[in-house]
Chains A and B, each alone.
Chain A
Amino acid sequence: MKRLHRRARPDAFDYSRRWSLRALFALGCAFLYAPIVVLIVFSFNDSRRGGNVIWKGFTTEYYVKAFGNEELMLAFGNSLTIALVSTVFAVLLGTLTAVLLWRFRFPFKPLVEGLVALPIVIPEICLGVALAIFFTQLGWMNTGELGWPFNLTNITIAHITFSFPFAALVIRTRLQGFNVETEEAARDLGASEWRVFLDILLPHLRPGLVAAALLCFTLSLDDFVITFFTSGPDTVTFPVKIYSMVRFSVTPEINAASTVLILITLVLTWAALRCQKTVKG
């Protein structure tokens, strides 16, 4: 929203312009990025062993190795695919859940509220084991014969299950700041339920949706435990692959692979933002 005129005194709530807060933000970012910088720097380290802690010399051979590592690239692709698909569904289900709990009164509602939060609480290994048993009982586990889609489906379902309550929580928080009068005004003016949802509620929800999507994407991309238990042959994801590689030696190859993943995700997000801009435009 453009300002029509400068206020007489600096906006009290224009926190992002305050130097003290900017400094704090920068400090926070420094903390967040320090290990990442170390990670990237040490991906060029010429050290085969020793945990890649001591700088030995510069080399790019590990990037070559990482790109040449077919399984690593495949795991990459699997992880990104699963993360994208599960984020979409998780945000969808999360929105439905959030609106459900926010808008409606129904019998046993406190019970449902408690239940919806459980996937956040349950230890990952417990959920992983439970889903593994569940899928095995269903006969969905040993489906190598059916080819790609099914194997990754198990993992995707698992990811959606544990991440949609996070989305619901974030979106519900957003709903709690919503001014219902806007909604009621629209209804008074004759808008249908559907229209109200699309044109009034959803736009307000957008920051919540974005936050939820980022959260779910992160949860999925980085998941190891649950994925480990629900995966089978030919469904290796990036964290699982890294985990088994790291057990033997922390080589710069792993750092190189991670740096590449960061770059790819950066590019994808930038592209998504650009698409959104043109769409909005």
Chain B
Amino acid sequence: MQRIRRPLNLLRTDRRRFVQAGLAVGFSLKIPAGAFAQDGKVNFYNWDTYIGEDTLENFTGETGIQVQYDLFADNNELFAKLRNGNPGYDVIVPSNDYVERMILAEMLMEIDHDKIPNIANIDPMFTDPAFDPGRRYSLPYMWGTIGIGYRKSAVDAPPTSWSDLFVSDKYAGRIALLSEPTNVLQLAMKAAGHSLNDWTDENLAAAEAMLLAQKKNITAFAPDNGQDLLLAGEVDLAMEWNGDILQVMEEDDDIGYVLPEEGGLLWEDCLSIPVGAPNVDNAHALIDYLLGARAGADIADFIYYATPNAAALELMDETYTDNPAIFPPPAALEKSELAIFPGQEMLRKIDEAWTRVKAG
């Protein structure tokens, strides 16, 4: 009977062929041969579009070290991924409160300052923060704020208080908040007049009540696209990162960014070396390069966030240095705060409060 013997045969040979083909595809698509060399490599895990266009190429050109560049999307993912153990990253870019968290969890390696001569370029304001005294485990990369993006024609005056988003119903149905529980609750506390780090049970309960009451006026808890909603005209006020709002300000002159009177949230993204990094020396080399004046300026010029690198700042022009969305006026800056890590216990309470807000 001329039957189809093939099904099973096909599977078996094809399986081998597939694997071979797959290997071939994998090898042919792999980045330059040098990547296999153990000593000429560094694994850099960064946020997307968070580096200059040619920065890494220039680094390789200068030092000969190949960079394996991978991307992650938020701090929580970074932490969850590294929690079990480091799958092989050499340099990572956590935000300040996550640096604090990782130091507590003993996930970061001490940085040898002797290997980083460019450390001298860092602005004194950033050399001894509370979350990492003496900068033993992290070095600053970029900094910025979370504030209010708004549509100028839809408001009588630039918003002056967080209560416009959290309490008032003046802009009902035209408000977007972020979707990260910690950030939203922090700024709700600010709206209530407290420090955004004043994590007490009463403050948390008050913030939760505030949000539950305001929920009907909120259009969206936007994970990353609050600025898109603003641009599209779906909302008029958006709690957002300054860089995101800057991006849409380029597209639309009617959009502005402001830090309200209570101040906003200050954040700092840092370069760190996780424990278990396979290429520690190369990691130091990369960090040193990124802290250089030229590299810092290229990066700042491309991604338009504020640089903590004083030497790089000197190379930038006024459209950058005088931009109030990038470098907030001193008054607003003074009242803005860096977030601290609330501690595991408080994290649980924050999550429970947030679940109640979302379910309500």
Give 1 or 0 for each of A182-225: 1 = CB within 8 Å of chain B CB. 00000000000000001100110010010000000000000000
Known A-B contacts A199-B1, A202-B7, A228-B77; A51 and B225 likewise in contact (beta carbons under 8 Å): yes
Contact A202 B8 (CB under 8 A): yes
Task: Give the docked Cα–Cα distance between A11 and B326 (Å).
Answer: 72
Interface footprint category on B: 35 or more
Specify which chain A residues have a CB less than 8 angstroms from the CB of B232 in the assembled complex: 50-51, 53-54
Chain B residues positioned under 8 Å from A249 (CB to CB) = 49, 247
Within 8 A of A (CB), among B223-271: 224-225, 227-229, 231-232, 247-248, 250-251
* A60 touches B (CB below 8 Å): no
Asked if B11 and A84 make an inter-chain contact with CB atoms under 8 angstroms apart, the answer reads no
Are B69 and A71 within 8 A (Cβ)?
yes
Cα(A109)–Cα(B133), bound, Å: 60
Tell me if B68 and A88 are in contact (CB < 8 A). Answer: no
Q: Is B48 an interface residue (CB 8 A)?
A: yes
B4 at the interface (CB under 8 A from A): yes
Known: A77-B29, A244-B72. A141 touches B251 (CB 8 A): no
Give me 28 A-to-B residue pairs in the complex whose CB atoms sit less than 8 angstroms apart, sorted by A's number: A49-B227, A49-B247, A49-B248, A50-B231, A50-B232, A50-B251, A51-B229, A51-B231, A70-B31, A71-B69, A78-B29, A84-B22, A85-B19, A85-B22, A88-B18, A92-B11, A136-B84, A198-B8, A203-B7, A233-B70, A234-B35, A234-B68, A244-B47, A247-B73, A247-B224, A279-B6, A279-B10, A280-B4
Of A147-155, A158-166, A170-178, which stretch is located at the interface?
Answer: A147-155
Of the candidates A70, A77, A233, the one whose C-beta lies within 8 Å of that of B89 is: A233
Q: Is B25 on the interface with A (CB-CB < 8 A)?
A: yes
Note all chain A residues with C-beta closer than 8 A to B276. 142
Interface centre among B4, B22, B80, B229 (most CB of A within 10 A): B22
In the complex, the chain B residue whose C-beta lies closest to that of A154 is B87
Q: Tell me the bound Cα distance from A73 to B31 in angstroms.
A: 11
Asked whether A80 lies within 8 Å of B14 as measured between CB atoms, the reply is no
* Choice from B4, B31, B48 contacting A203 with Cβ under 8 Å: B4
Chain B residues with Cβ below 8 Å from A123 are: none
What's the nearest-Cβ distance from chain B to residue A253, in Å?
11
Q: Which of B49, B71, B227, B229 has the most CB of A within 10 A?
A: B71
Q: Could you tell me if B88 and A144 are in contact, using CB atoms closer than 8 angstroms? A: yes
Q: Is B216 an interface residue (CB 8 A)?
A: no
| B70:A248 contact, CB within 8 angstroms | no
| Smallest CB separation, B143 vs chain A (Å) | 17
When each residue 95-124 of chain B gets 1 if its CB lies under 8 Å from chain A and 0 otherwise, what string results?
A: 000000000000000000000000000000
* B88, A232: Cβ atoms closer than 8 Å: yes
> Is residue B61 contacting chain A, with contact meaning CB distance below 8 A?
no
Closest 6 CB pairs of A and B: A51-B228, A232-B87, A244-B71, A81-B22, A233-B43, A50-B231
For B4, list chain A residues within 8 Å (CB). Answer: 199, 202-203, 280
Is chain A's interface secondary structure helix, strand, loop, or mixed overall?
helix
Among residues of B, the one whose C-beta sits closest to the C-beta of A156 is B22
Chain B 67-93 interface mask (CB, 8 Å, partner A; 1/0)? 011111110010011001111110000
Residue-wise, chain B 39-81 has the 8 Å CB interface mask toward A (1 for contact) of 0000101011100000000000000000011111110010011
Chain B residue with the shortest CB-CB distance to A247: B73
Does B332 lie at the interface of the complex (its beta carbon under 8 Å from any beta carbon of A)? no
A236 within 8 A of B: yes
Whether A245 sits at the interface, judged by CB under 8 Å, is yes
Interface pair A228/B81, CB less than 8 Å apart: yes
Task: Chain B residues near A78: list those with CB within 8 A.
Answer: 26, 29
Is A74 touching B29 in the complex (CB atoms < 8 A)?
Answer: yes
Interface: B355 (CB within 8 A): no
The answer, yes or no, to whether A116 is at the interface (CB within 8 Å) is: no
By beta carbon, the residue of chain B nearest A53 is B232
- Most A CB atoms within 10 A — which of B69, B72, B228, B247? B228
**B228 and A148 within 8 A (CB):** no
Contact of A245 among B8, B68, B71, B81 (CB under 8 A): B71
| Pair B45/A233 contact, Cβ less than 8 Å | yes
Residues of A within 8 A of B168 (CB): none
A246 to B26, CA, bound (A): 25
**Chain A residues, CB < 8 A from B10:** 279
Is A229 an interface residue, CB under 8 A from the partner?
Answer: yes
